[in-house]
Structures are given as C-alpha cells and as structure tokens.
A and B are shown apart, each in its own frame.
Chain A
Amino acid sequence: MLKQAIERLGNRTLQGVGRIGFAIRFFVAILLHSGTAFRRFGLTIREMYFSGVQSLIIILVSGLFVGMVLGLQGYETLQTYGSEDALGILVAMSLVRELGPVVAALLFASRAGSAITAEIGLMKATEQLSAMEMMAVDPIARVVAPRFWAGVISMPLLAALFSAMGIFGGYLVGVQLIGVDEGSFWSQMQSAVDFEQDILNGVIKSVVFGIAITTIALFEGYDAPPTAEGVSGATTRTVVTSSLAVLALDFVLTAFMFRGLS
C-alpha cells in the first residue's frame, strides 16, 4: 500500500520533471526558429490581432473597474490619515508596479492563452501540423514562433492599457465623484512615479509574464493528446499553470526589483 503510494508519487514527480524538461527544450526551439516570425512579420501581426486585439475589450473594462475600486478603497484609507491628496500616487503606483502587469497577465492567460492552446491542440489532432511537416514547412517556425512573439509583444502593451484605464478609473471616482483636488491628484502622481523604478520594472514584469504565458500555452497545445479530452484538458492546464506561474514570477521579480526600497 504505502510502497505503491510512494512509487506513484515518484512516478508522477519524474513525469513532471520530464515535462518541464520538454517545455524548456520547446522554448529553446522556439527561440532558434524565430527567424520566420520576424522576416515575415505579417504572420506575427496577424497573431497579435488574434491574441492582442481580441483581449482588448476585457482588458480595458477590467482596468477601468479595478481603477475605480482603487479610487474608492484608497480614498477610504488615505482619508483616515488626512492625506487624500496622495490618492493619485496610490492609484498609479499600485497599477503600474503590480496590478497592471499581474491582472492583465491573468486576463491574457484566460482569454488568449486558452485560445492558443485549443487552436494548436486541434491543429495537431487534425494532423494539420503533420501535413505542414510533410510540406517541408517547420510548424515551430511557421505556426508556433509567430504566436509566441505576438504574445510577448502584446502583453506589455495590454498591461500599459490596463494601467492607463485604471488610472482613468481612479480619477473618475477620486476626483470627479468624491472630489479630491484634481491638481494634486495629477501633480503628486507625476512627481512620485519614477520612470525606471516603476514604469520600466512594470514593463519588464509584463514581458516576463508574456513569455511565460505564451510558452505554457503553446507547449500545452503542442503536447496535447490528439483527442477532444486531450485538448480540453490541456486548455484547462494552460489557464491554471500560467496563472500560477504569473503569480509566482511576480513575487520573485518584485523581491529583486524593490528589495531594500524605503
């Protein structure tokens, strides 16, 4: 009984490690076969439309609401200390450093990541990828790499839009609704938000998230068993794994970026 359980555990661990190994090799293969994605940039643009533009609505709407909530909650807290003028700082900092990259990435994982996995998985299940190989066209270069770069480029742009909408939402609630002073809202924000420390770090985060999400989504699709259950299972795994990866990476990156900041 116990022996079997331990055996199963060992087996699962080995399988898991094996899959991570495959995923890393897959990632390297994408990088090595990225020539086509840049030489024929139209392919990448097309995928940016599918994964980026189609995530736009959900990103914009969510950003607005998150910003509005930040405005309300931030005002509540700041008001107790009599510093509601700093609302602009609070809203902008939270969005640019954390919420923008992270929430946009979570939304991107469930909107675009799952779609990528399902698409690649179905292309594999219906032998479209085999057919492409038989036509002497490398599916990694032609199908996978453009989707990868499209995701990596789209992610920081979407995060930026999310943050912009969020700041607008915070402004709507804080300034227009509650009546925080408009001048101090913007000027405090401008003087406090640092380009390198805040904006650049936020961009770096979302690029890393973009790499993680698209790699996981593409790998799950490419590795999916060629059946309906296989593809649906892979789609679910994409959302779960890439969401966890985003949150874990966020902790690691934050620890490096903002360590020892007063």
Chain B
Amino acid sequence: MQHDNLVEIEDVAFDYGARPVLKGINLTAKRGQVIAIMGSSGCGKTTLLRLIGGQIKPRQGTVRVAGESLGELNQAGLYRLRRKMGMLFQFGALFTDMTVFDNVAFQLREHSDLPEDAIRDMVLMKLHAVGLRGAAHLMPSELSGGMARRVALARAIALDPQLVMYDEPFAGLDPISLGITGNLIRRLTDTLGLTSILVTHDVHESLKIVDYVYFVSDGVIVAEGTADDIKASDLPYVHQFVHGEAEGPVTFHYPAAPYVEDLRLGGQSA
C-alpha cells in the first residue's frame, strides 16, 4: 500500500543527556516533495535528520518512514528501510580510504550483484550529475570542501533512494554550483519521484526549489508553509530569518548566563 506521506513525525522530543533539544516536533513530507527545514544554528536540525534515519531514538513521539514506525523495527528492519534512504552528511563523511569512484560505488557493491561494468556506468552518471566525473580517481583528501560535498551528494543518491536527506547541501558552494545543486535536487525529486528533506540556511536558494518549509526554534516548529507563504509571511520569526535581521525573536546566542554577570561587571567586589 502506498502512503501519501513518506515521512511522518508526530510529537517527537529528544534530549542530549539532560539538555532537551527537540520538544515536540510535528512534520510530514509527502512523496515527491522537497521539504526544507530551517532554523538557527544549533537548534537541532541535524538531530532531526538523525531521528528520521533511525540513528537515534526519540524520547517521546513516533517517527514513521514509508508507513513503518522506526521505534518498532529491529536492526534488520531498520537496515532494510535505510536502503530506501540516502543521506548527505553535514561534513560529507566520505570514506577516506577509498577513491571518489569507490565512495559512490560503495552501496552498489554492498547491496547489489551488478557486474562491475554496470556499476561503472551508474557511478559515472551520478558523478556527472554533480559535475565531478573527471574527479573519479581522486582521493577524498585531494578534494576541496565544496567538491567533497558534491561527491557526498552523488553517493547519497547512488542507489536511487525514495527519500534523500541533505544536511546543508549548499554550504561552501560558489554561486554557480549552488544554483546547479539546487536545480539538481529539484530535478531528481521530480524525475525519480523521490522525496527530499533539505536542511539549509540558504533561504533564497532554497525558496526557489522547495515545496514546503518548516522553521524550527527552541525545539518546536514555529512556522511552516509553502515557499510563497513564507515569502509573504509577516510572522516576526520568519520575517527576521528571510531577511537576515539581527534583531528579533531568533536568538543568535547559545543559552547562557546574562552577559554582564559572565563578565563580572555586576558591581560585586572581586
């Protein structure tokens, strides 16, 4: 049975030790959509992706992918489900002991019995899509940050997954690669019918390609809507984020004691 929603997150809370990071998130991603998750640095976006990938378990709430609740799966079930997922890690996470080619070929070799000829063609196609077919023989240490990220993107889509999660795919890209990568994500989603979840800070680039946006702040979704809703929104939070203003409800600082107190300017004798 085909579910309309590929990813459903209901009332999910997660703590790192005693520190609550997510406090009740509701989010759905329909098949064939590009979803963006935005929020200030450290608000728990990467954590949210790890929850969808089943790498960490929520303290409360359920995460369902393709109709299956991750909390009820054993390791074999989780691994079966993950074959339908691709993930671009925030820092690339390329295998440093393999060439670019072998990195992209990794899943094909692990999960299929395809002959090496077929693997070669598929890998070169994926590398071509990110513009790095010529870099196939390089080692990850010989790549620039932006190139490594594009290789990681090629690797994430190597198995033609149903769901691809991109953790900041635009970070460290020049304007040209940025536009191309954005279009690539949109095109993959449309032509292969997959679903993309995009974590990004790049409001303008992502609003061009996404269907739906969620804003995370302080552990909850504070705003959501289609790209047009977001552009037109006059919610202070969204307005501040879209226009990059320093003053507003979004706090730039990690929770801390009052500044004056920390600097010992409170007038108390030392």
Contacts and interface: CB of A to CB of B under 8 A. Distances in A.
A128 B87 CA distance: 12
Nearest to B152: A131
Given A126-B96, A128-B95, A128-B96, A135 B89 contact: no
B82 A135 contact: yes
Interface stretch (A18-26, A136-144, A210-218): A136-144
A134 B94 contact: no
Nearest to A133: B55
Nearest to A119: B97
B111 A126 contact: no
A127 interface: yes
B93 A135 contact: no
B55 A128 contact: no
A73 interface: no
Given A135-B107, A136-B82, A128 B94 contact: yes
A136 B80 contact: yes
Most buried by B among A122, A131, A134, A137: A134
A124 to B, nearest CB: 11
A130 B89 contact: yes
A136 B106 CA distance: 11
Interface string A132-168: 1111111000100000000000000000000000000
A130 B88 CA distance: 11
B9 to A, nearest CB: 17
Given A137-B110, A142-B110, A131 B79 contact: no
Interface in B141-188: none
B137 interface: no
Contacts of B110: 135-137, 142
Contacts of A133: 55, 82
Interface in B65-79: 75, 79
A134 B82 CA distance: 6
B128 interface: no
A123 B85 CA distance: 21
A137 B107 contact: yes
**Residue of A127, A133, A136 with most chain B CB atoms under a 10 A cut-off:** A136
B39 interface: no
Contacts of A142: 110
Contacts of B83: 136
B95 to A, nearest CB: 6
B252 interface: no
Contacts of B106: 135, 137
Nearest to A122: B96
B91 A130 contact: no
Contacts of B107: 135-137
Interface in A11-48: none
A201 B216 CA distance: 64
Nearest to B106: A135
A131 B80 contact: no
A126 B53 contact: no
Contacts of A122: 96
B93 to A, nearest CB: 4
Contact of A134 (B53, B91, B96): B53
A136 B107 CA distance: 8
Contacts of B91: 126-127
B51 to A, nearest CB: 12
A130 B82 contact: no
A127 B53 CA distance: 14
A185 B154 CA distance: 65
Contacts of B80: 136
B180 to A, nearest CB: 23
Nearest to A46: B97
Contact of A136 (B79, B89, B94): B79
- A-B CB proximity, top 4 nearest: A131-B93, A127-B93, A136-B82, A136-B79
Interface of B: 53, 55, 75, 79-80, 82-83, 85, 87, 89, 91, 93-96, 106-107, 110-111
14 contacts: A123-B95, A126-B93, A127-B89, A128-B94, A131-B95, A134-B53, A134-B85, A134-B87, A135-B82, A135-B107, A136-B107, A137-B106, A137-B111, A142-B110
Given A123-B95, A127-B91, 8 more contacts: A126-B91, A126-B93, A127-B89, A133-B82, A135-B106, A136-B107, A136-B111, A142-B110
